[in-house]
Amino acid sequence: MQVMPNWLKKRAELTPGRMAVTIGEKSLTYQMLNEEAIIMAKKLAALGVKEKDRVAVLAQNSVESVVFMHALTYLHAVLVPLNIRLSGEELAWQINDAKADFLIYDPVFFKKTEEVRKLSQVEFYSWNELNKLKEIAVPVLKDHVSLEDNHTIMYTSGTTGKPKGVVLTYGNHWWSAVSSSLNLGLHLEDRWLAATPLFHMSGLSILIRSVIYGITTVIHEKFDPQKANSAIKNEGVTIVSVVSTMLAQMLEELGESRYPESLRCMLLGGGPAPLPILENCKKRSIPVYQTFGMTETASQVVTLSSEYMLEKLGSAGKPLFPAEVKIMEDGKELPPEEAGEIIVKGPMVTKGYWKREEATAEAIKEGWLYTGDIGYLDKDGFLFILDRRSDLIISGGENIYPAEIESVLLSHPSVLEAGVAGKEDSKWGQVPVAFLVTQKDKTVTEQEVLQYAEAKLARYKVPVKAYFVEELPRNASKKLLRRKLMDLL
């Protein structure tokens, strides 16, 4: 068993005066954060929370969420972060699936919890109720963590189907944080902006890295492109984690102005990175690090290092130091330049899904995680991601990757968002159709868009129809739900 000191306790001993977290007007040093986490741990203990209990939390990005995550580590209880945009029914499903013992919620979500109460036996407490409790003297607050112990059960985004509870250990998080710093470097003056939800890996991983590195997390309650840009320009933010739709909005808000030199990394993940956005960033010398990762890999597992940013534009990079990647097809490893399923291995990869042995056995074979994503390695070993296997369109025997077509459509100046899906076709089996959201104040016809695509794509990839819609179906992490595109018709 590998044991080390509780991360927050250790950090507060090493650098008590360093700023741990800033949100709006409120800031906490590591010492203050540690004191608050200990108080919260004692209050949670007063509710009866104990080792191995699963404690769900329904909260916006807030100081309480940060304190809460650390408080659970002092009790060795398992964090189950819930997505605030889920319906009451969906929340109840996850709470029951996780067999959560407690649900702690932000009072702004009281209405949602009413629905959950009807469908679940979990014990409910709001932040306010928790705050009013008297602390109890816990026999022992856990001042050590074991890398094998479970830290989180985090549900996948539910892009391809029902979300799955991914069990992540302290070791998974530890190695994820260490691996990231071996690639991005560790700068003591870093301030990492968390404008993505803390209930997803992208946000949670920032909190974990920051306590291990001793840097500051700047939290935004909600993503706002103007606020995010201002944090970079005026508040010394050096690293930002973004998904491509966030980055697109930030670039639009930025207009002709530039980011200061202090911005050293725009960490772009979570989904396909459309080439037009990458090229736009290249033109403006914005340091975009493309990365590939999943809930199952505790955030990034493959990232493009800075020296290859321009040369390998469009690649998600190479596996992080302790990680490995292979491309498989029909049980065989494929050579470079051939597309197949991406499989990954490394100490940040989950050991499996919560209480789902079958799904675990299907996804993890001989220590390799089968990602369900299709990609290829180029001859230099750089990973290029094509798409999810489940979204693949097969037309007349040819594979069509929706992400490639979307990327071309997005480069049209009038197109703001694009989604492509396969439509049944009696001659070809399937044919691609496009769904587009246009830029405000810009008009464009279907014919113009399709002609534009025709000039850039092989004939069989050109959508047979383009539909203009108000918005595309997305989940709470703003991921495109391609399986729901056809419902728009």
CA distance 68 to 79: 9
Residue among 27 and 160 whose Cβ is closer to Mg ion: 160
75 vs 247 by CB, closer to ligand ATP:
247
Answer for which of 191, 388, 461, 482 binds ligand ATP (CB under 6 A) is 388
List the structure tokens of 165.
Answer: 């509870």
Q: Select from 197, 270, 317, 463 the one that contacts ligand ATP (CB under 6 A).
A: 270
Q: Where are the alpha helices (DSSP H) in 308-417?
A: 357-363, 402-410
269 contributes a contact to ligand ATP by CB under 6 A:
yes
In three-state secondary structure terms, 333 is strand
Strands in 352-353's sheet, in edge-to-edge order, are: 123-126, 102-105, 54-58, 78-81, 150-155, 165-169, 352-353
Please tell me whether residue 156 binds Mg ion under the rule CB under 5 A. yes
Segment interacting with ligand ATP, rule: CB under 6 A, options 106-114, 184-192, 266-274, 414-422: 266-274
Closest CA to 113 of 98, 80, 91: 91
Query: How many other C-beta atoms are found inside a 10 Å radius of the C-beta of residue 486?
Result: 14
Sign of CA dihedral 89, 94, 96, 101: negative
Q: Using the Cα atoms of residue 113, residue 94, residue 80 and residue 86 in order, give the sign of their dihedral.
A: negative
Interface with Mg ion includes 303 (CB under 5 A)? Answer: no
Q: Give whichever of 265 and 273 is closer to ligand ATP, judged by the CB atom.
A: 273
Which one of the spans 13-21, 130-138, 174-182, 292-300 is the region binding ligand ATP (CB under 6 A)? 292-300
Residue 371 as a binder of ligand ATP (CB under 6 A): the answer is yes
Q: State the number of binding residues for Mg ion (CB under 5 A).
A: 1
**360 sits near Mg ion (criterion: CB under 5 A):** no
| Cβ 294 to Mg ion shortest distance, Å | 5
316 binds ligand ATP (CB under 6 A): yes
Q: From the list ligand ATP, Mg ion, none, which binds 320 (C-beta under 5 to 8 Å, kind-based)? A: none
Q: Which stretch binds Mg ion (CB under 5 A): 31-39, 95-103, 150-158, 304-312?
A: 150-158
By CB under 6 A, residue 385 contacts ligand ATP:
yes
Residue 99 backbone zone (phi > 0: left; psi -120 to 50: alpha; other: beta)? left
Alpha helices in 29-124, H assignment, sequence order? 30-47, 63-75, 88-97, 110-119
Restricted to residues 146-165, the positions that interact with ligand ATP (CB under 6 A) are 156-161, 163
**Number of chain positions touching ligand ATP (CB under 6 A):** 24
Nearer to Mg ion, 64 or 391 (CB): 391
Match 């989180």 to its residue by tokens.
Answer: 152
26-34, 249-257, 267-275, 409-417 -> range binding ligand ATP (CB under 6 A): 267-275
> Quick check: 297 binds Mg ion (CB under 5 A)?
no
Burial of 426 (C-beta count, 10 Å sphere; 0-12/13-18/19+): exposed
- Return the one option of ligand ATP, Mg ion, none that residue 479 interacts with (CB less than 5 to 8 A, by type): ligand ATP
Radius of gyration for the alpha carbons in the chain, expressed in angstroms and rounded: 23
Q: Which does 197 bind (CB under 5 to 8 A by kind): ligand ATP, Mg ion, none?
A: none
CA angle 291, 363, 423 (to 5 degrees): 75
Which residue among 177, 273, 327, 416 contacts ligand ATP (CB under 6 A)? Answer: 273
* Helix, coil or strand: residue 181: helix
Question: Residue 232: which residues within 8 A CB-CB, separation 6 or more?
Answer: 193, 240, 259, 260, 262, 263
Both structure tokens of 369: 């995680």
- Amino acid making up residue 147: L
Q: Does 94 bind ligand ATP (CB under 6 A)?
A: no
Q: Pick between residue 20 and residue 265 the one whose CB is nearest to ligand ATP.
A: 265
Q: How far is the CB of 268 from ligand ATP (least distance, A)?
A: 7
Q: Cβ of residue 482: shortest distance to ligand ATP, in angstroms?
A: 11
Stretch that binds Mg ion, among 151-159, 184-192, 312-320, 426-434 (CB under 5 A): 151-159
Q: Name the residues that contact ligand ATP, by CB under 6 A.
A: 156-161, 163, 269-273, 290, 292-295, 316, 371, 373, 385, 388, 477, 479
